[in-house]
Amino acid sequence: MTAKSKLNHDEMLQAEFNYIANTAFQANEDRSRVASFYFVATGSLVAAILGAQFAETQVKSISLAFFLLFFVLTILGALTIAQLARLRAAWHESIQAMNKIKDYYIKDNPEVTSAFKWRMKSIPPTDKPYSIANLMAIEVALLGALTTGAAIYFLLNVIGEVGTLGWVIVIIGVFIGYFAQWAWYKYLLVDNQ
């Protein structure tokens, strides 16, 4: 008996389908863990800062440290956004692969067509508005925007007093931080990158 005759195509396709289903599930699980880690890490550091009391003479030296801390948190936010986008794209690629297998079976068994809600044409897009994936990315982008604003504030505090113009710069920095992170998310959300 040859190796070729031992292969059962149905079992092979079923194993492939199960593997793809597991990769889609894992991408969703990983997305949740990535976002949770970022939220907890950022929240813990901000809580520690707010809970600390500093003398007026320490403000300049502490501001430099806080600038660096919030700058690093902004970078971590961008990396978290990147992970969320790539995990969503991985999920989407897995769903496409599952639907290829479905289409193969439907071609031979057209009577099962109505059993499948998702087909190639009806798969949710990677950037589906109000999906959990997009809402998590918005949360991370908003938090990243706030850390951007905080980094700018502390940098301005190192340079001198933060007056009205300084607050305008901080607010502009928050908006630029949000839109930059959201654009980064959308850029990385494309399949096959």
How do residues 144-183 score in pLDDT, each as one tens digit? 999 999 999 999 988 888 888 999 999 999 999 999 999 9
The yes-or-no verdict on residue 46 having pLDDT over 80 is: no
Give the domain range for residue 49. Answer: 9-188
The reply to whether 97 falls in a domain is: yes
CA angle 161, 164, 167 (to 5 degrees): 85
Q: What is the pTM of this model?
A: 0.78
Please tell me what DSSP assigns to residue 53. -
Is residue 144 within 8 Å of residue 78, measured between CB atoms?
Answer: yes
In a domain, 2, yes or no: no
Encoded amino acid at 106, one letter: I
Residue 193 falls inside a structural domain: no
Q: How many domains does the chain have?
A: 1
Q: What is the DSSP string of 17-52?
A: HHHHHHHHHHHHHHHHHHHHHHHHHHHHHHHHHHH-
